[in-house]
Amino acid sequence: MEMKDNLRTSHALFALGEVTMTPAALTILIALETDFLSFLVQHRAGDWGEAEEGYAVVNDEALRDGGDVISLFDLGQGIRLRIATEIRASTRVSLYKER
């Protein structure tokens, strides 16, 4: 694994700001007994989850220039968690279908 990859997954690349979560996302995470904090840690470290290939370039540009950084995580049962951070502002956790 390259040095960039090691750094990307072990260090925070940006602040999350104020974190909010939709009621639907909270309900699903509780029902599935999922530790959503691990997803926030991955997101902040540059692990974009399922969105990595499609969003990697856009997310890297947002880190450099400002904008939205988006991660998608598969929760199983056809449910995906979406985490979106507006750099230097806030983070919203929702279900993918709620975008």
Q: pLDDT by residue for the chain (99 residues), tens digit each?
A: 233 344 444 578 888 999 999 999 999 999 999 998 999 999 999 999 988 677 888 998 998 888 899 999 999 999 999 999 998 788 999 898 887
Q: Domain 14-98 maps to which CATH number in 3.30.310, 1.10.3470, 2.40.50, 3.30.2310?
A: 3.30.2310
pLDDT at site 3: 36
pLDDT at site 51: 82
DSSP result, 48-84: -BTTHHHHHHHHHHHHHH--EEEEEEEEETTEEEEEE
Give, as one character, the DSSP assignment of residue 11. S
